[in-house]
Amino acid sequence: MSTAATEFMIVKMWDDQEIGARIYLQACNLFVQQLFLKEQKDRFFSHAFAVMHKLSATKYHLENYRRIEAEQLEEANRQFAKDPSRTREAFELIFELEAFLFQVKSSLDMLVKLLRPILGEHVVKTHTYGNKGEDLIKGLKQYRKKRGVNLEAVDRLIDLAEMHKEGWLQTTVELRDELSHIEGVRNYQYRPMKMNDGNIVAQKPRFRNFDTCETLEIIYQNNLIFHQDFMAFSLALLPPPGIVLGPKAESEVAAGFPPEVAKYIRWCWRMVLPSP
């Protein structure tokens, strides 16, 4: 069996092919086996599989939230048709919301550990993805002062972390912080709403006036792609001059992988010829 076929089989055995492709197959498409010595490679993949587990847990709670919300919406509509004054706290949704946001943070904490086999122990602070990544950014700015560092690759990784810090990650941290206080989860209920035709329909619970399920889906997808890009940009710290990380063209089938998983692979190596 070819290497690509073996790697594809590993992804097929994973619970979610997109997670497997964006992390494991993306790493394989960047030839991690050739970038590291065996011990470093084993440590890298150990961290990568831990990242995949955390991403799978995040998706598990997202899917639970989506399923429970739909089931309870149906039940609330039946209940309000009989008695629109009767409401209840949607505790099950609160539990899944809390668990989802916890797993997002946990996945980020695991993600930064990928830098250990790439740069070495204690080179950049990688205990957690603390302070929305600010601790990591400070560490990378210190690292770029070292002699022989690939400055362009380090700057791209710093820019990536800073861009996400001010985007979806800001919202995620705010949601998690608010949930840590009891005021953030009070009155999380299905509410009756009277329509123009006189019918009573249930309104889904909303957190901070967001459609919660849509917000979680946006956070999930942004977090998943950020993990993929962070891993790829981190690996870009390793190659010698003349080899750079570049986006995979849509027409390319990455490393012989089938199209159903190759579509998730975003990055590949490019050769840059020296200036004449």
pLDDT tens digits, residue range 124-149? Answer: 877 788 888 888 999 999 999 999 89
Per residue in 84-120, pLDDT (tens digit) is 888 878 999 999 999 999 999 999 999 999 999 999 8
What pLDDT does residue 255 have?
A: 56
What pLDDT does residue 14 have?
A: 57
Cα dihedral sign for 118, 122, 128, 129?
A: negative
Report if pTM > 0.85: yes
Q: Which segment, 13-17, 78-82, 228-232, 246-250, is predicted with the most confidence on average?
A: 228-232
Average pLDDT, the chain: 87
What pLDDT does residue 8 have?
A: 47
